């Protein structure tokens, strides 16, 4: 009688050795909130580790389909998470290079007959070995145009997503409702997407934490007055047009730094300290147009 002793596997050690755990930890640390997204990414990473070991043991039948859709409003972290995902896929050996090529319809679809196929193929060539991130992917499909070249691009993409999946992962990104409609009219796409990840909007408190984290990384801080002003800013800005979650906050902070610098110059003091140079004051926030009458423009 023969007894076979099975080799044992330690998945946690696999994750450590690949370096992918470090990427997951970075993702946790650099992004405030997004708990459901972080959970989904950890699940996908677990699947990848298991796949990898199964492949090594000769248990994997065919390369897994890893194409994904990231849905959510602007500024909710889709691009940032996609870059980390590319890194994880690379560390676990699912793509050769791990770079991210981010495109929109204009990069894929030409204006004239015969231009679309070469454009799409050139983008695919650049993305091979990494992740192709198609932002606002639904714009590829324009049924209202009688002869739309988007369809040509879609057909090439679908083919490559099927045939080259051992070396290219496609992530489609955009608003959830439009993506739903896009999938409804493009079942070929829907069936090739293995993982759907939904990015929720940030709450006021989360946006506040994102602001503080962003500033701390740049060695800036908010005074107590500036904190209160920013809380009011967030509540107002959210209700105005073109609000883009964390991106709107980032832009607001860039402008606050500009105002801080201008204020410090205007003071003409010769005794400024590091603390002065680090501190954003309430007036640096309050000068934003967001605080003006609602009739004013959306930006500031
Ligand atoms: N949860 C978060 N914590 C900290 N910064 C964030 C968070 N989400 C987004 N950001 C920042 O906001 C900006 C916009 O994010 P991005 O990934 O481009 O969003 P999207 O692709 O969904 O429009 C980036 O600078 C990003 O680093
Ligand atoms: Mg983006």
Question: Which candidate, 282, 177, 289, 285, places its Cα nearest to that of 240?
Answer: 289
CA of 165 to the centre of ligand 2 (A): 23
Q: What is the C-alpha separation between 48 and 93, in angstroms, rounded?
A: 9
Judge whether 52 and 46 are in contact, CB under 8 Å. Answer: no
The verdict on the CB of residue 215 being under 6 Å from ligand 1 is: no
Q: Which atom of ligand 1 has the smallest separation from the CA of 77?
A: 17
In this predicted structure, the answer to whether residue 1 has a pLDDT above a threshold of 70 is no
Q: What is the C-alpha separation between 198 and 70, in angstroms, rounded?
A: 6
Cross-strand bridge partners of residue 100: 131
- Model confidence over 277-292: pLDDT tens digits? 999 999 999 999 999 8
In this predicted structure, the answer to whether residue 144 has a pLDDT above a threshold of 60 is yes
The verdict on the CB of residue 77 being under 6 Å from ligand 1 is: yes
* DSSP assignment string, 66-81: --EEEEE-TTSSHHHH
Q: What is the C-alpha separation between 32 and 144, in angstroms, rounded?
A: 40
The verdict on the CB of residue 32 being under 6 Å from ligand 1 is: yes
Distances in whole angstroms, Cα of residue 66 to Cα of each of 132, 139, 194: 12, 22, 6
Give the closest residue (by CA) to ligand 1 atom 17.
Answer: 77
Tokens of 295: 């009739």
Q: What is the C-alpha separation between 93 and 256, in angstroms, rounded?
A: 43
In this predicted structure, the answer to whether residue 7 has a pLDDT above a threshold of 90 is no
Structural domain spans, the chain: 11-199, 204-291
Average pLDDT in the 100-117 region? 96
For the chain, where are the alpha helices, taking DSSP H only?
Answer: 11-18, 20-30, 35-56, 78-91, 105-108, 116-127, 150-163, 176-185, 187-192, 204-217, 224-238, 245-267, 274-278, 282-286
Question: Which candidate, 269, 256, 78, 272, places its Cα nearest to that of 175?
Answer: 78
Q: Looking at residue 13, what is its pLDDT? A: 95
Probe residue for ligand 1, chosen from 246, 251, 252 as the CB with the greatest number of ligand atoms within 8 Å: 246
The verdict on the CB of residue 257 being under 6 Å from ligand 1 is: no
Same CATH fold, 204-291 and 11-199?
A: no
The verdict on the CB of residue 76 being under 6 Å from ligand 1 is: yes
CA of 11 to the centre of ligand 2 (A): 32
Q: Looking at residue 250, what is its pLDDT? A: 96
Q: Which atom of ligand 1 has the smallest separation from the CA of 73?
A: 22
CA of 208 to the centre of ligand 1 (A): 13
CA of 247 to the centre of ligand 2 (A): 9
In this predicted structure, the answer to whether residue 65 has a pLDDT above a threshold of 70 is yes
Q: Which atom of ligand 1 has the smallest separation from the CA of 74?
A: 23
In this predicted structure, the answer to whether residue 298 has a pLDDT above a threshold of 60 is no
Mean pLDDT of the chain: 94
Give the closest residue (by CA) to ligand 1 atom 13.
Answer: 247
In this predicted structure, the answer to whether residue 295 has a pLDDT above a threshold of 70 is no
Q: Looking at residue 214, what is its pLDDT? A: 96
In this predicted structure, the answer to whether residue 61 has a pLDDT above a threshold of 90 is no
Cross-strand bridge partners of residue 69: 172, 196
Neighbours of ion ligand 2 (CB under 5 A): 79
Average pLDDT in the 15-37 region? 96
Q: What CATH number labels 11-199? A: 3.40.50.300
Q: Looking at residue 299, what is its pLDDT? A: 53
- DSSP helix/strand/coil, 161: helix
Closest ligand by atom to 246 CA: 1
Of the pLDDT bands very low, low, confident and very high (cuts 50, 70, 90), residue 147 is confident
Neighbours of 216 (CB within 10 A): 12
First-to-final CA distance of the chain: 79
CATH class for the region spanning 204-291: mainly alpha
Give the closest residue (by CA) to ligand 1 atom 4.
Answer: 31
The verdict on the CB of residue 130 being under 6 Å from ligand 1 is: no
Question: Which candidate, 216, 244, 208, 206, places its Cα nearest to that of 78?
Answer: 244
Give the closest residue (by CA) to ligand 1 atom 8.
Answer: 77
């Amino acid at each position: 009688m023969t007894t076979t002793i099975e080799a044992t596997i330690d998945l946690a050690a696999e994750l450590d050795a690949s370096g992918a755990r470090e990427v997951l930890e970075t993702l946790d640390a650099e992004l405030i909130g997004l708990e459901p997204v972080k959970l989904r990414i950890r699940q996908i990473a677990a699947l990848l580790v298991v796949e990898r070991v199964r492949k090594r043991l000769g248990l994997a039948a065919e390369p897994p389909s890893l194409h994904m859709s990231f849905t959510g409003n602007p500024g909710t972290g889709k691009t940032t998470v996609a870059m980390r995902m590319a890194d994880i896929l690379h560390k676990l050996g699912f793509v050769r290079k791990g770079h991210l090529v981010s495109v929109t319809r204009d990069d894929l679809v030409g204006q004239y007959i015969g231009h679309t196929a070469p454009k799409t193929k050139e983008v695919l060539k650049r993305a091979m070995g990494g992740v192709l991130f198609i932002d606002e992917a639904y714009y590829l499909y324009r049924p209202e145009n009688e002869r739309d070249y988007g369809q040509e691009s879609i057909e090439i993409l679908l083919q490559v997503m099927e045939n080259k999946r051992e070396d290219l992962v496609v992530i489609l990104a955009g608003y959830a409702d439009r993506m739903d409609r896009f999938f409804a009219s493009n079942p070929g796409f829907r069936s090739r997407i293995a993982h759907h990840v939904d990015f929720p909007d940030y709450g006021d408190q989360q946006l506040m934490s994102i602001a503080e984290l962003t500033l701390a990384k740049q060695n800036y801080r908010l005074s107590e007055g500036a904190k209160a002003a920013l809380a009011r800013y967030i509540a107002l800005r959210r209700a105005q047009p073109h609000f883009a979650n964390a991106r709107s906050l980032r832009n607001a902070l860039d402008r606050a730094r500009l105002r801080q610098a201008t204020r410090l110059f205007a003071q003409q003091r010769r005794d400024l300290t590091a603390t002065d140079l680090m501190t954003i004051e309430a007036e640096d926030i309050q000068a934003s147009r967001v605080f003006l009458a609602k009739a004013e423009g959306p930006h500031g």
